[in-house]
Amino acid sequence: MLEEADWPGDVDEVVLAVHEALINAQRHAGGATSATAAVQDSSALLVEVRDEGPGFDVTEHASHPPEPLAERGRGLWLITQIAAAWEVRRSGPETCFRLRFCP
């Protein structure tokens, strides 16, 4: 999709960040119920991953790099390094993890 849209950003980084978001949905919420992506204003990419998990406290998960030998805990830190912004919203039974990428 990004290549067809001639998106000028780093496609591999986006794939890595979205993969981490989907893996987190699988591990912590039983899997994503939907995932969408759209290029906005010819440059920004908005990705939403939705699941039925309880959500999480944003501040406690992404502020510090993971321990070098840790087997888990890198996903949100990587996403923070790659995405221009991200947020978690809870609405009814659904959690939406929204990522924004700018080239």
Structural domain includes residue 36 = yes
Structural domain includes residue 6 = no
- Does residue 100 register a pLDDT over 70? yes
| Token output for 39 | 């290029």
| Token output for 37 | 């992506």
Structural domain includes residue 72 = yes
Structural domain includes residue 92 = yes
Q: In Å, how far are 3, 8, 24, 68 from 87, measured between CA atoms? A: 25, 23, 14, 25
User: pTM for the complete prediction?
Assistant: 0.89
Structural domain includes residue 71 = yes
**pLDDT category, 59, cuts 50, 70, 90?**
low
**pLDDT category, 13, cuts 50, 70, 90?**
very high
Average pLDDT over residues 58-66: 70
Helices (H), the chain: 11-29, 75-82
**pLDDT category, 27, cuts 50, 70, 90?**
very high
Structural domain includes residue 1 = no
- What domain range is 19 assigned to? 11-101
| Domain at 59, CATH number | 3.30.565.10
Residue 71 pLDDT: 82
Structural domain includes residue 3 = no
Structural domain includes residue 79 = yes
Residue 74 pLDDT: 86
